[in-house]
Structure 1
Amino acid sequence: MKKYIVVTGGVLSGVGKGIFSASLARLLKECGLKINVLKIDPYLNVDAGTMNPNQHGEVFVTEDGYEADLDLGHYERFLGEDMKRTNNLTAGQIYSLVVQKEREGSYLGSTVQIVPHVTGEIKKRIEALDGEVNVVEIGGTVGDIESEVFLESVRQLALEKPREDFMFIHVTYVPYLKTTREFKTKPTQQSVQLLRRSGINPNMIVVRSEFAMNGDSLKKVALFGGVPQDMVINLPDVPNVYSIVELLYNLELHKKVAVWLKIDLPRETFNWDYPKVFKPLKIALVAKYLGTDDAYKSIVESILLSGASKPTTIDAEMLEEMNYEEVCAVLEEFDGLIIPGGFGKRGIEGKIKTIQFAREHKKPILGICLGMQLMVVEFARNVAGLKGANSTEFDPDTPHPVVTMMEEQKKIMKLGGTMRLGSQEMTIFEGTKLYEIYKTTKANERHRHRYEVNYEQYKDLFKFPGESGYKLTISAMSQFVEAIELEEHPYFIGVQYHPEFKSKVGNPHPLFKAFVDVLQKGKP
């Protein structure tokens, strides 16, 4: 048995199609089915690695080192399973492959065309999914030029399979017009019409709205959408996205899907344990990508999954323009601080001031990737007295390059997919806070970086567990420094890797869980 659920989007982007797809996949998994997922991104980038987080949200890194759209993060957290590069497909990948095959003569002299060559490669990728039920989310909005070839591909594939092997779910948005106090279904009607022009008739319509819609509005969607009324599902805004799985279960969506696809559900019990209460902790995320809330999505979700309220984003550039006393005044009100990863010089000095404040005032702080590197820079400048210490990323002529480009990276000219990426093993040293958190000496963590701590040249900044002196304790290593911490500090930990990518519902990454626990203990 191999079934497919194709999820399309209409009216506008960012309507929650990815969250719905992840929730649906988890619901079907709870019913005992083997689930696989595929996120199709119509953009011409080969992957999301070179995209600006301000425009597109965070770049999510998989275990196998693939730089993906943030929706793969939703899938991982909801499903509790690691995603792979095969769970994401972009137009860039498809067109690159078709051109490569043409150059190799694989098409035997044929005129290479969108149909059948491009659509054929798309269908192969979809058919390669190995789930009993495979949820295929097509990114973007119906009507987008770049989405048309993917809609044509799934239209063809659905015709080639038995009717009960394919189900199309269209996710749209219905706005509420306050001046007339009514829901306006016309955008949804037009969206369904656009989908039909692509040769696809939706079997179910999921209507997103600001709050619950009335029955008359849902009847109108059903009538003009051409689906039975019980196949129109309303999903209003909710304060906790993890509750959507439970909401879909109560709406018996799993049963509706099972009837359409003609499958038996191995079980219909439901055991979805998600965080429902969030401790009112004040956590500052000192960051530079402020264009969208999705820029640090996995960090925010890791905090929520650890049981704490959503962190507050603080503009690192704003802190950069303040003197140290003003920075202290801004940050004093927070229970804990996080310095996330990033690239480029903008806001760096503001982050360094934040680290100095946390170190001197014993404020709990977690530094991630660039955050850890800046912890080393701050310590070198303000404790070791290395004036002008910096990373060569920001100052190639620094007199003290305490952070420098990795040797293997110096020979690489291209940007896309060339960083140190994916899961790598490290050794955690006993006698450290990190060991207390992990409770093991070996762990694998995901990386995404070009620069590393210049340990060989600046060994005097560091010490190993058990050694004396006020230095940065190295708590984990691989072929380079993986983690540092400070003794006699409640929580001053920096890690070169990205722990946020491994948090899942019911199993947040232990670094975030320990961070939240420390903050909670510090509350009166």
Structure 2
Amino acid sequence: MTCIAILGEYTPTFEPHIATKRAIAHSRSLLASEIEAHWISTQDINSSLFDTYAGIWIAPGSPYKNMDKMLWAICYARENKIPCLGTCGGFQHMVLEYARHVLGFQEAQSQENDPYASHLFISQLDCSLAGREMKLAFVEGSQIATIYNSLTAVEQYYCNFGVNPDYVAYLKSQSLRVTGSDSEGEVRVIELCDHPFFMGTLFVPQARSTSQTPHPVVTAFLKAALKVS
């Protein structure tokens, strides 16, 4: 049995969490697999996490109860090539992990967690994206474009925070790629090329998944986890 961990503070009435469970069921059915998904609170993450789980999904719903443990899990997945998907708040924390452990900004923070931090890689958006749908443009040849089999898509958002424009150049300076942006050119998708699946989306792909049309990002993530197990 292949298992993935959904890392975050599960709230049964929070629509992105409801959508996450649904989307996994949709893609699992499409793949005809017995893959299981277990929610794990960030305060319960420990060093044995990857003994059980073939992939991790960093869930929406930040701030998390234990940010340090969450960043450790993302770092471990990145360094050990374990499939990792982050959506909404998960995307934001993938950016923070990379900023701290690859770019060397040890104090990298989100304005949501610490508005007075010296290096705010994640800042409050000038215009909230909560409840909005926006068109995306993908970089040709990127993993995200391959997953969609398209250079454009329309997706739904639930967030009020995103990548601080002042730090975009730093994010692009190493192996991380910005492969998706909105009509205003803002960062909406990040990925690593030398990794089986390490992708963050500021949008919430699971919100548009249906039983008839499972979301391709969720399906691609589960496929990557199945290959690892």
TM-score by length of 2: 0.89
1:451-503 CA deviation, whole Å, 9 max, x = no partner? 1101333412225xxxxxx3310010012111000111000000000100111
Query: Which residue in the other structure is 2:227 paired with?
Result: 521
Residue 471 (1) aligns with residue 175 (2) = yes
Whichever residue aligns with residue 314 of structure 1, its letter is I
Letter in 1 for 2:44: M
Q: What is the match of residue 509 of structure 1? A: 215
Match of 2:41 in 1: 315
Distance 1:489-1:328 versus aligned 2 partners, 3 A rule = farther
* 1:47-126 aligned within 5 A: none
The structure-2 alpha-carbon separation of the partners of 1:434 and 1:295, relative to structure 1 and needing over 3 Å to count, comes to closer
Structure 1: distance between partners of 2:120 and 2:197: 26
Measure how far apart 1:393 and its partner are.
0.5
Q: Hey, what does 1:497 align to over in structure 2? A: 203
Counting strand residues as a fraction of each chain, which structure ranks higher?
2
1:440 has 2:150 as partner: yes
Does the alignment pair 1:400 with 2:119? Answer: yes
- Point out where structure 1 has 5 or more consecutive residues left out of the alignment: 1-279, 320-326, 410-418, 464-469
Contact 1:500–1:509 (8 Å) recurs in 2: yes
Letter in 2 for 1:423: E
Q: How does 1:329-478 map to 2 (within 5 A)?
A: 329-409=48-128, 419-462=129-172, 470-478=174-182
Alpha-carbon distance in 2 for matches of 1:425, 1:294: 21
Displacement of 1:358 in angstroms is: 0.7
1:426 and 1:393, CA in 2 relative to 1: closer, same or farther beyond 3 A? same
Q: Does the C-alpha gap of structure 1 residues 392 and 293 become closer, same or farther in structure 2, counting only changes over 3 Å?
A: closer
Q: 1:424 to 1:314 in 2, by over 3 A?
A: same
Q: Structure 1-normalised TM-score?
A: 0.40
- Supply the distance in 1 between the matched residues of 2:64 and 2:54 (Cα, whole angstroms): 27
Larger Rg: 1
Deviates more, 1:513-522 or 1:479-488: 513-522
Displacement after TM superposition at 1:353 (Å): 1.5
Partner SS, residue 328 of structure 1 = coil
Aligned length: 222
> How far does residue 521 in structure 1 lie from its aligned partner after superposition?
2.5
Alpha-carbon distance change, 453 to 318 in structure 1, aligned in 2, over 3 angstroms = same
| Structure-1 separation of matches of 2:201 and 2:51 | 23
Distance of 1:391 and 1:503 partners within structure 2: 28
RMSD: 2.0
For 1:445 and 1:350, how far apart are their aligned partners in 2?
Answer: 29
Structure 2 CA distance for aligned equivalents of residues 403 and 505 of structure 1: 34
Distance 2:202 2:62 in 1: 14
In structure 2, runs of 5+ residues without a counterpart are none
Helix, strand or coil: the match of 1:488? coil
- Tell me, in whole angstroms, the C-alpha distance in 1 between the residues paired with 2:213 and 2:64: 34
1:413 corresponding residue in structure 2: none
Q: 1:292 to 1:443 in 2, by over 3 A?
A: closer
Q: Percent identity?
A: 27
Contact map agreement 1:345 1:394 (CA 8 A) in 2:
no
Structure with greater contact order relative to length (CA < 8 Å, sep ≥ 6):
2
> Following TM superposition, by how much is the alpha carbon of 1:377 offset from its aligned partner in structure 2, in angstroms?
0.3
- Quick one: which amino acid aligns to residue 300 of structure 1? K
